[in-house]
């Protein structure tokens, strides 16, 4: 997995599943997730993910 050339060398993409697993380990439960594509020319291969979570009861 690589970042777009517009990102700094320090930027490290993190797979969404790793983020969700980390939140679950800390007691949060994912309640929604979505992925969107960039409409910017040259960034079509790069996606953005967002999620929502709630404390586990």
DSSP labels, 1-57: ----TTS-TT-----HHHHHHHHHHTTEEEEEEEEEE--STT-TT-EEEEEEEEE--
Which pLDDT score, from 0 to 100, does residue 25 have? 93
* pLDDT, one tens digit for every residue, the chain (57 residues): 666 677 778 877 788 889 889 988 999 988 887 777 777 777 666 666 777 888 877
Q: What are phi and psi of 11, to 5 degrees?
A: -65, 135
Which pLDDT score, from 0 to 100, does residue 2 have? 67
- What does pTM read for this prediction? 0.56
Instruction: Give me the count of residues in the chain.
Output: 57
């Amino acid at each position: 997995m690589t970042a777009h050339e517009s990102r700094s060398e320090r930027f490290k993409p993190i797979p969404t599943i790793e983020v969700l697993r980390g939140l679950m380990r800390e007691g949060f439960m994912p309640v929604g997730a979505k992925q969107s594509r960039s409409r910017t020319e040259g960034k079509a291969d790069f996606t953005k993910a967002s999620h929502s979570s709630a404390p586990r009861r």
